[in-house]
């Protein structure tokens, strides 16, 4: 029996070139946003390049992605270079490039990645997973926009729904929801990186006003190891996000992702541009 390739794995496909660390990719309609690929899939693709590199040490610890320009439909190139390897950590510079209408290669996205060898140590959490209803008790979010990437996730809302009235009456930016890939897919680091960016702009909720907005830079910190991801499997993640300051055309966003067992798998921070 033939098993269909998951849309995420199709989107993350990279072809090696004759130069180590240089890969060729192509955008897919499955993760298309309004003017380009969903930012989470771009982040996941750059991470995939690092994880595919023959000189990789360890597993992802942090990923920072800077969106310089939207990636257009079609082919693109990813270059991943390990710039420093220590005993326990490895530091990477990653760049995505695409040819413009004149055939000139232009940078669309830059990133830095840190991978590391994890060792068993004393561990603790200062931010336990909040007490929320189980996924089965939460209504599934219906797609409110035409962006195709939203169909790639099953989201079950706990709090912080998209406003139904755009009347400047918002008072909080907090959203909590259960989320997983659709169709179901076992969690890995690339999927986790993409899931860290599934939230709609916090300014929409805080202000109750739908204004143009887009991520400028996002950082994801991975607290999970391979065994934690394997234990999570195809289960839901509780994803929580809120802004801390919205001022002069930019706002920040902090997010946390826990598995159903209450284990924090990742945290993220991003800065987002918005128009009045």
Domain regions of the chain by residue span = 7-116, 136-274
The pLDDT score that the predictor gives to residue 258 is: 98
Q: Which of 258, 215, 265, 274 is nearest to 129 (CA)?
A: 258
The pLDDT score that the predictor gives to residue 273 is: 97
Q: Which residues of the chain have pLDDT under 50?
A: 1
The pLDDT score that the predictor gives to residue 61 is: 98
The pLDDT score that the predictor gives to residue 106 is: 97
The pLDDT score that the predictor gives to residue 145 is: 76
The pLDDT score that the predictor gives to residue 21 is: 96
Q: How many CA atoms lie within 13 A of 148 on its CB side?
A: 13
Instruction: Calculate Rg over the CA atoms of the chain.
Output: 18
Report the residue count for the chain: 276
How far is CA 231 from each of CA 71, 225, 236, 261, 262, rounded to the nearest angstrom?
Answer: 34, 10, 12, 9, 12
The pLDDT score that the predictor gives to residue 38 is: 96
The pLDDT score that the predictor gives to residue 3 is: 67
The pLDDT score that the predictor gives to residue 2 is: 52
What is the DSSP code (8-state) at residue 195?
A: H
Q: Which of 132, 194, 207 is nearest to 162 (CA)?
A: 207
Structure tokens at 100: 């413009």
The pLDDT score that the predictor gives to residue 24 is: 98
pTM for this entry: 0.96
The domain defined by 136-274 carries CATH number 2.40.160.210: yes
Instruction: Answer whether 7-116 and 136-274 agree in fold.
Output: yes
Interval 36-54: pLDDT, tens: 999 999 999 999 999 999 9
Of 2.40.160.210, 3.40.50.720, 3.20.20.140, 1.10.150.120, the CATH number of 7-116 is: 2.40.160.210
CA 196/CA 76 separation, integer angstroms: 23
Dmax (CA) of the chain: 56
């Amino acid at each position: 029996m033939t098993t269909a390739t998951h849309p995420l794995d199709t989107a993350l496909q990279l072809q090696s070139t004759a130069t180590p660390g240089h890969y060729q990719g192509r955008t897919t309609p499955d993760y298309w946003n309004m003017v380009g690929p969903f930012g989470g899939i771009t982040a996941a693709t750059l991470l995939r390049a690092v994880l595919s590199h023959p000189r990789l040490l360890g597993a992802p610890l942090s990923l920072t992605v800077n969106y310089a320009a939207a990636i257009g439909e079609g082919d693109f190139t990813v270059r991943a270079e390990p710039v420093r390897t220590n005993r326990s950590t490895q530091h990477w510079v990653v760049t995505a490039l695409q040819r413009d209408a004149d055939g000139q290669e232009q940078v669309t996205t830059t990133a830095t990645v840190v991978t590391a060898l994890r060792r068993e140590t004393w561990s603790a959490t200062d931010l336990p997973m909040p007490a929320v209803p189980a996924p089965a008790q939460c209504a599934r979010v219906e797609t409110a926009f035409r962006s195709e990437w939203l169909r790639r996730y099953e989201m079950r809302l706990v709090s912080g729904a998209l406003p139904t009235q755009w009347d400047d009456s918002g008072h909080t930016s907090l959203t909590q929801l259960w989320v997983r890939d659709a169709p179901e897919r076992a969690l890995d680091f690339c999927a986790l990186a993409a899931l860290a960016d599934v939230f709609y702009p916090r300014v929409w909720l805080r202000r109750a006003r739908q204004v143009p907005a887009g991520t400028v830079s996002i950082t994801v910190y991975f607290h999970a190891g391979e065994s934690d991801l394997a234990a999570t499997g195809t289960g839901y993640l509780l994803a929580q996000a809120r802004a801390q300051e919205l001022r002069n055309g930019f706002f920040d966003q902090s997010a946390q992702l826990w598995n159903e067992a209450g284990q924090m798998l990742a945290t993220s921070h991003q800065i987002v541009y918005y128009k009045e």
